[in-house]
């Protein structure tokens, strides 16, 4: 499947502008290509009880599932300036669950597979052992 990285970057920047980040002042947006060609996205949503905030990737996965599911092929995560961000550990796990080792994440050095972003990842296949 052809990946339009610029379209993903543009969508991530657009959704980042909808983030609710009154406490950290650090809006985040993420967009991903799904195996059926759709683009799904999400932004961070903070909460006065800081630990209850939702990362942008949480919104993306919710969007993925609520619009029909599928497998994530590629993703771009950005800050307020449109710079590429690395997802936190929790969010790497969320992306891995729905994209596996082959999903690509854009980094400042170019696309990198989840097998590099989250080496030795624990996933659904490990529960069957």
The residues that are catalytic are: 57
Distance between CA 11 and CA 49 in Å, rounded? 28
- Coil, helix or strand for 39? strand
DSSP assigned state of 76: E
> What DSSP line would sit under 91-106, residue for residue?
HHHHHHHHHTTT-EEE
Could you tell me if 53 and 41 are in contact, meaning their C-beta atoms sit under 8 angstroms apart? Answer: no
Residue 106 φ/ψ, nearest 5 degrees: -75, 130
Phi, psi (5° rounding) for residue 87? -60, 150
Structure tokens at 55: 């990362």
């Amino acid at each position: 499947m052809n990946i339009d990285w610029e379209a993903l970057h543009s969508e991530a920047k657009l959704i980042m502008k909808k983030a609710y980040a009154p406490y950290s002042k650090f809006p985040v947006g993420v967009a991903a290509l799904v195996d059926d060609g759709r683009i799904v996205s999400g932004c961070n949503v903070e909460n006065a009880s800081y630990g209850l905030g939702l990362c942008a990737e949480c919104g993306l996965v919710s969007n993925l599932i609520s619009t029909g599911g599928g497998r994530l092929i590629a993703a771009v995560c950005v800050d307020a300036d449109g710079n590429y961000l690395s997802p936190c550990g929790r969010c790497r796990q969320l992306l891995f669950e729905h994209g596996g080792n082959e999903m690509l994440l854009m980094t400042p050095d170019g696309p990198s597979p989840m097998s590099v972003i989250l080496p030795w990842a624990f996933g659904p296949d490990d529960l069957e052992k």
